Structure 1
Amino acid sequence: MAASLWRSFPCSRRQLRLDAVLLCGQSFRWREAGAGEWLGVLADRVWRLKQDETHLYYQVYESSNKDVNSCRIKTEVKSAFKAEETDASYHTSRKQHRATAKTTSNHKITFDSVDQKVLLETKYACSANLALAKQCKNDAAGIDYFDIKVEKKEDDMVLVSILEDYFQLGVDIENLYDQWSQADPYFSKTARDFWGIRILRQDPVENLFSFICSSNNNIARITSMVDKLCAHYGQPVAEVEGKMYHTFPSVSSLAQEGMEEKLRELGFGYRAKFISKSARHIIDNHGQDWVSSLRHQSYEEAKAELMTLCGVGAKVADCVCLMSLDKTGAIPVDTHVWQFAARHYLPKLQAAKSVTGKLYQEIGDHFRDLWGPYAGWAHSVLFTSELRHMQSKKSSPDQVEKPPAMVKQKRQSNSTEDGKGKAKYSKPSSSSKKTGRTA
């Protein structure tokens, strides 16, 4: 499929290193496609990403298959409107909306059966950012949704906002690295080789079921399982270089009858039961949008809710809290975290035979006290440094020259010590509109 031209926006490699962030086990939807380029699915689009020292570059692949596009748009309309149908902004006058309307991104919306179809509202959905609309119910017609024709490609602002949200670029990672380094000598030493690592803000459903697949598994096998879920139960997006890319399945599609047996045939083993039962539990007890709603709960509440699902223990729950639910203080404790905690922070762990619930909590609390509100982000840097396949990614941030003005400004504005010489934390700057951060 044809891709858009390369577009870019400012993003320093000190703030984001694609080669580390996309391979460190947070997401399993990206693959290296040539030197320094990455292909993956995000927000129901296929993206190709690359970067230089000062900019992030992106291409978006458009599908030429009308059936694929129609399926994608109708799915987005249905799911997004259901989640927003109680929003006051949708209760607008019919007189204000006629057969043709333009969204804030200048998409032109056309309707068939103009007299029966009225645009209530158009709005960007975080998962898709396409024009969304739903007809007023017409009992006589019995039609639920109308076709949408996008006559203009999405503008750059929409696409950049998707990437900024996904990589959480509103969070100043350099400022956080400075704070963590002053509080923790071991972090300071490690960060010299593993800089520019930040937490992705993923789709909660994709993040949850991907990490349910992670039980006693490695990154390569998890990636294979996620690919199978998408290929068999997701919607097609676009074909790129001979490979068809798909959306991640909805919860309802994973809750179908006979899902456990089908997944076992695909090689998921005992994880098939976890996926099937968790999806069924969510649909039966909460509804399609429940996982995303946990962003508005406290860290403790969200983690407890996730742990009611089959196959979701403390570690998987913390991964989801950290990587998609905005709980920046969540600390997933696995073998790697246990090992560096025992070597460098809590020597008594070396005598422990297993990670009990009490020790798990103690490790998390220790790092939260040491690193502050964004402890989960700091943990990810050290976790990445423990991965064998990441050792080839070691490099010095000194290779990226920092403008003298920035150095001077940081010296003047960053106060990271109190009067007693003890590290203190300041809130990292953020230009993005983030809500629901409760950890």
Structure 2
Amino acid sequence: MEYMVDSNNIIINRLCDFDIEHILECGQCFRFYKKSDKDYIIVAYDKILRITQDKDEIVFHNIDEEDFNSIWIKYFDLERDYTSIKKILSDKDEHLHRAVTEKDGIRILQQDTWETLISFIISQNKSISHIKKLIEDISKRYGTYIGEEDEIKFYSFPTIEQLSQATEQDLRDLKVGFRAPYIADACRKVINDEVNLSRLADMNIADAKNELMKIKGVGPKVADCVLLFGAKRYEVFPTDVWVKRIMEHYYFENDTKIKVIHEFAVEHYGTLAGFAQQYLFYYARDFKIGKK
């Protein structure tokens, strides 16, 4: 991948398999803010990034090469060959072929594991807009001020130590509802090393899932999301009610057990199951396939 530096901007031309709207709007992350079409502000790894895209030109605004190379190349998974991934998945079946063709700009972000854990605990039974607001409110209350963009103040996502200062009542006051004890339990178990987030990338996948499910309120779906988006475990296939309906629509009868869907995903998609899930989910969500 080649890029050029223009003043304080990093510019990439002719980058394949990258659509900033597909990447941010497909449900994998929550700290992004849409300014206009293909123009977003992102907060990640204690940094603020404005990124714009015009056809095949992608501009990373007001950043230096050091941050681009050490943070954003990894974050956007820019060194992975998505053309090959899409070819393999497209050849699996007609459903994936349509999804990959329609949503061809998705890349799976490499997010911070701790932030991903808390974000997906919060995400349960919430709309995207409400999830984003709760995460922003928690960051303002417990994170660290990191700067402004368009006269809006931004804060880092709180560290484990910072968020551990919050009581369950403090969290309830921020309107997280029944998730308050789940967040508090995650703080206790991670800070006490009862749950080891740093080992998730290397553990047997079943053990990694069980490690996360030691935390109150973390079931298989949340655990799979944390593993996929926060620990680079691309063999998992997060399945909520909507994904279950999508799979039933394409591959199964109604009322198929999630265990059967997972077994199918492992066999059919293999180590690319997480990528397949993102293409199918985003495509189906846009076309309201599986929605009741």
Label 1:341 to 1:262 Cα distance change in 2 as closer, same or farther (>3 A): same
Aligned to 1:15, the other structure's residue is in SS state coil
Count of residue correspondences: 282
Q: Is the 8 A contact 2:134 2:176 kept in 1?
A: yes
Q: Is the 8 A contact 2:235 2:274 kept in 1?
A: yes
- Given the alignment, which residue of 222, 237, 258 partners 1:316? 222
**1:12-411 alignment to 2 at 5 Å?**
12=15, 14-60=16-62, 155-256=64-165, 259-286=167-194, 290-347=196-253, 350-351=254-255, 359-388=257-286
Relative to the length of structure 1, the TM-score reads: 0.61
Deviation at residue 160 of structure 1 after TM alignment? 3.2
Amino acid at match of 1:373: T
Q: Is the 8 A contact 1:214 1:222 kept in 2?
A: yes
Relative to the length of structure 2, the TM-score reads: 0.90
Amino acid at match of 2:123: S
Deviation at residue 25 of structure 1 after TM alignment? 1.4
What residue is the counterpart of 1:5 in the other structure? 8
CA distance in 2 between partners of 1:190 and 1:35 (Å): 22
Aligned to 2:51, the other structure's residue is in SS state strand
Amino acid at match of 1:274: Y
CA distance in 2 between partners of 1:204 and 1:18 (Å): 21
Q: Is the 8 A contact 2:38 2:54 kept in 1?
A: no
Unaligned runs of 5+ residues in structure 2 are: 1-6
Q: Is the 8 A contact 1:330 1:375 kept in 2?
A: yes
Deviation at residue 5 of structure 1 after TM alignment? 2.8
Unaligned runs of 5+ residues in structure 1 are: 62-154, 353-358, 392-439
Amino acid at match of 1:376: G
Deviates more, 1:41-50 or 1:200-209: 41-50
Q: Is the 8 A contact 2:138 2:174 kept in 1?
A: no
CA distance in 1 between partners of 2:41 and 2:106 (Å): 19
CA distance in 1 between partners of 2:49 and 2:199 (Å): 27
What residue is the counterpart of 1:399 in the other structure? none
Deviation at residue 324 of structure 1 after TM alignment? 1.2
**Percent of pairs with identical residues:** 29
Deviation at residue 201 of structure 1 after TM alignment? 0.7
Deviation at residue 369 of structure 1 after TM alignment? 1.3
Q: Is the 8 A contact 1:336 1:386 kept in 2?
A: no
Aligned to 1:372, the other structure's residue is in SS state helix
Q: Displaced runs of 4+ in structure 1, greater than 6 A?
A: none
Deviation at residue 266 of structure 1 after TM alignment? 1.4
Higher helix share: 2
Listed one character per residue, the Cα deviations across residues 48-84 of structure 1 (whole Å, up to 9, x for unaligned) are: 00123334211247xxxxxxxxxxxxxxxxxxxxxxx
